[in-house]
Structure 1
């Protein structure tokens, strides 16, 4: 113990190594989505609450005056204009939060950030988005991040976001952009599929369609919890008694009703998850 104390005393005289304790928007957004998803799978609301706190922190502290995102937060200060992955993962996280609590403010924030991306990251000569914003630092060349790696490419995540928001808001501008991005990368998927794994998810959604599951009624939580017991990768889930979303219009009911729709065509409503799964399987 005496030797350790002497060593500690000598070590304390040295210059301490730097501490990388910055908070990155993109990495936090990935964690927010993970917590939101797992909160439903494991029925563990504490994960959702933590995701909600983190998302609110980003929206309150890392939004630029013109409605964009900062990338970095350290020492109570937000710096560096956000890159495409910051937007892509944050939009994805906001959509995930909506599918937990059906609070449409999350979708509104996701839509706002998506419109910002469309305005500031677009390439007039390419279907992909630039990695850097047009109003950021001027560079010799602006690149596109397309190939998926350990972390999915920002463009592949953005394409999935556009597809989902196109369904939520019945906005073909989003859907057409997502399809154009996938079409652009399709030849590379055929040549080197393992480098485009997240794009392949988008391809499967295009081929097999995305199930739009709308749950309405005064007490929908039980049905939603039961639905969470089933792995349905190609789906979006909507719900709530009062909603402005197109798919939920004219679908009000006091009793719990579940609608399963694909490509703007809905099956007759059913009253339980077991019946709804027949339309999916």
Structure 2
């Protein structure tokens, strides 16, 4: 059925992240489209450009005396750190500069929190690591892309996102012009710059673990 209440920022942030991870494990572009719709709604109805943070409740909710801005991570991540990471992951896969800019602004605005209250900034700190160290886009293209993805994901690769296609046509910029007939190929990319393509899983792993 249809929900009768509006979602909070954390609902949108965790849903975006979930759809991104579903895409990574299926290469079904429809999951990214759903994540994009939620991200656009979140920016339109929760984000305050002047403050550089997202409110916990949307501007479509009944007016409150104070709209809460949740910054500190606790038992679960703060809604702002969650949306920060979600926009980073979605923006990276879709090459969406708006998402990445907002994510970086959120992270920058939270530097004092990480410096002065680190126990309450665990999720922020993970995103800081993502931005201060190499973070890879792993593009896999070819009829065996699903199997090759599954094989690579047996390794612990927290500093990477997977995207790919088993067909020549694609809607993602990073996958354009990468199709090779009768061959499944891995492209390890950093900030949209890809290393030499390979069909060898061991060579792909070498590219991922080499700084």
TM-score by length of 2: 0.94
User: Which whole-Å deviations, capped at 9, do the CAs of 1:122-150 have from their partners, x for residues lacking one?
Assistant: 11321110000001111000011111111
Q: In the alignment, is residue 101 of structure 1 matched against residue 29 of structure 2?
A: no
User: Which whole-Å deviations, capped at 9, do the CAs of 1:7-42 have from their partners, x for residues lacking one?
Assistant: xxxxxxxxxxxxxxxxxxxxxxxxxxxxxxxxxxxx
Q: Which runs of 4+ in 1 moved over 6 A?
A: none
User: Which whole-Å deviations, capped at 9, do the CAs of 1:83-119 have from their partners, x for residues lacking one?
Assistant: 1011011111111110111110000010011000000
Q: Once the 2 structures are TM-superposed, how far is the Cα of residue 267 of structure 1 from its aligned partner?
A: 0.1
User: Which whole-Å deviations, capped at 9, do the CAs of 1:139-194 have from their partners, x for residues lacking one?
Assistant: 00001111111111111110111111211111211111110000000111011111
Q: Once the 2 structures are TM-superposed, how far is the Cα of residue 258 of structure 1 from its aligned partner?
A: 0.2
Quick check: 1:218–1:253 contact (8 Å CA) kept in 2?
A: no
Structure 2 match to 1:262: 190
Structure 1 match to 2:162: 237
- Structure 2 distance, partners of 1:105, 1:252, is 20
- Structure 1 distance, partners of 2:133, 2:83, is 20
Aligned-residue Cα RMSD (Å) equals 1.1
Quick check: 1:215–1:224 contact (8 Å CA) kept in 2?
A: yes
Structure 2 match to 1:183: 108
Structure 2 match to 1:90: 15
SS of 2:161's partner is strand
- Structure 2 distance, partners of 1:193, 1:257, is 41
Q: How many residues align?
A: 206
- Structure 2 distance, partners of 1:257, 1:110, is 26
Structure 2 match to 1:278: 206
Structure 1 stretches of 5 or more lacking a match? 1-60, 63-77
SS of 1:126's partner is coil
Q: Once the 2 structures are TM-superposed, how far is the Cα of residue 248 of structure 1 from its aligned partner?
A: 0.4
1:129-140 to 2 correspondences below 5 Å: 129-140=54-65
Distance 1:265 1:124, change over 3 A: closer
Structure 2 stretches of 5 or more lacking a match? none
Structure 1 match to 2:99: 174
Structure 1 match to 2:174: 247
Quick check: 2:26–2:146 contact (8 Å CA) kept in 1?
A: no
- Structure 1 distance, partners of 2:156, 2:127, is 17
- Structure 2 distance, partners of 1:222, 1:110, is 24
1:1-281 to 2 correspondences below 5 Å: 61-62=1-2, 78-240=3-165, 241=167, 242-254=169-181, 255-281=183-209
TM-score by length of 1: 0.71
- Structure 2 distance, partners of 1:124, 1:211, is 29
